[in-house]
């Protein structure tokens, strides 16, 4: 069965609002989780590495103040898209535990 | 820089064999992965190569040549349900990062009757 879950699976929000996406490891502890973004017809792009108990590591070009990551426990990482805009509409996917085989089901964000 | 290349699109016939190539240039290398992704869904793991050679798993096989920076995914006895995007990804440990996966552009495979 699935070992990584995400919530919500889809969300629609208005421009300027913030949205929180959760990524949970279901039957293991994950000191590291990864957040990816995928635009239509494009591949996955790593946004940041979430580290339990410390600051996330962001990839070049990803605004850390806009995409807030919190990894407060060994089973939960959250990604908050602050002041969302239509260009943030995308498919957000997390993975865990080195996690090559353990992707979450993804969250479809639509900003209107 | 880091670069992972795949053909953008491929078309094949049901029952046939198709080979999807992937070439890579990364600062570090600790394994290459292939994923299948259907539209609107997250990727699902297909195969993993860290040593040179061929890994076979049912209808799917993956090959790696580290000296050439090259891999391919071979799909046999194609079925209509194999129509999907196929993503090549390299685990790169360059620059002190741990277990970062760098994805290729993906290959959209269309299987025709």
Query: Tens of pLDDT along A42-93?
Result: 889 999 998 888 889 999 999 999 999 999 888 999 999 999 999 999 999 9
Distance (Å) from the C-alpha of residue B113 to the closest C-alpha of chain A? Answer: 24
Task: Give A-chain residues touching B45 at CB under 8 angstroms.
Answer: 100-101, 103
* pLDDT on residue A53: 84
Taking the C-alpha atoms of residue A95 and residue B4, their distance in angstroms, rounded to an integer, is: 20
Of B42, B45, B106, Cβ closest to residue A100: B45
| CB spacing of B89 vs A105 below 8 angstroms | no
Nearest to B98 among A32, A95, A108 (CB): A32
Q: Is A31 left (phi over 0), alpha (psi -120 to 50) or beta?
A: alpha
CA nearest neighbour of A2 among A91, A107, A103: A103
If you average pLDDT over residues A18-32, what whole number do you get? 89
- The ranges of chain B with pLDDT < 50 are 97
- What is the overall mean pLDDT for chain A? 90
> What's the pLDDT band for A97 if we cut at 50, 70, 90?
low
Quick check: B101 contacting A, CB < 8 Å? Answer: yes
State residue B100's pLDDT score: 77
SS3 for chain B is CCEEECCCEEEEECCCCEEEEEEEECCCCCCEEEEEECCCCCCEEEEEECCCEEEEECCEEEEEECCCCEEEEEECCCCHHHCEEEEEEEEECHHHCCCEEEECCCEEEEEEC
Nearest CA among B3, B27, B2, B7 for reference residue B73? B7
pLDDT at residue number B1: 65
Chain A residues with CB under 8 Å of B100 CB are 34, 46, 49
A90 burial type by CB count under 10 A (0-12 exposed, 13-18 middle, 19+ buried): buried
CA separation, residue A111 to residues A39, A40, A77 (Å)? 13, 14, 22
What is residue B2's predicted lDDT score, i.e. its pLDDT?
Answer: 78
Between the alpha carbon of residue B40 and those of residues A38, A41, A104, B36, B43, the distances in Å are 10, 10, 13, 12, 10
Distance of alpha carbon A71 from alpha carbon B90, whole angstroms: 25
Question: Residue A28: which pLDDT band, with cuts at 50, 70 and 90?
Answer: confident
Compare all CA atoms of chain B with the CA of A105 and give the residue at the minimum distance.
B42
Please determine, for residue A98, whether its predicted confidence score (pLDDT) is greater than 70. no
Pairwise CA distance, residues A7 & A110, whole Å = 14
* A2 has a pLDDT exceeding 70: no
Residues of A in contact with B27 (CB under 8 A): none
CA distance A52 to chain B (A): 14
Number of residues that make up chain B: 113
Q: Which of residues 39-68 of B touch A (CB under 8 A)?
A: 40-45, 48
């Amino acid at each position: 069965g699935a070992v990584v879950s995400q919530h919500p699976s889809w969300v629609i929000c208005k421009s300027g609002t913030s949205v929180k996406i959760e990524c949970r490891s279901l039957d293991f502890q994950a000191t590291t989780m990864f957040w990816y973004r995928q635009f239509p017809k494009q591949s996955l792009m790593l946004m940041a590495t979430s580290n339990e108990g410390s600051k996330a590591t962001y990839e070049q070009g990803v605004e850390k103040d806009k995409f807030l990551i919190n990894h407060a426990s060994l089973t939960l990482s959250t990604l908050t898209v602050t002041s969302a805009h239509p260009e943030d509409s995308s498919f957000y996917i997390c993975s865990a535990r080195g996690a090559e085989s353990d992707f979450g089901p993804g969250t479809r964000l639509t900003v209107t | 820089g880091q670069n992972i290349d795949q053909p953008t699109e491929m078309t094949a016939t049901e029952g046939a064999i198709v080979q999807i190539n992937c070439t890579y240039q990364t600062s570090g290398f600790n394994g290459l992965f292939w994923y299948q992704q259907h539209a609107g869904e997250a990727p699902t793991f297909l195969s993993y190569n860290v040593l040179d050679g061929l890994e076979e798993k049912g209808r799917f096989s993956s090959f790696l040549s580290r000296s050439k920076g090259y891999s391919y995914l071979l799909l046999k006895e194609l079925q209509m349900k194999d129509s999907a995007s196929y993503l090549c990804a390299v685990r790169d440990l360059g620059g002190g990062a741990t277990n970062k996966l760098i994805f290729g552009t993906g290959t959209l495979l269309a299987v025709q009757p």
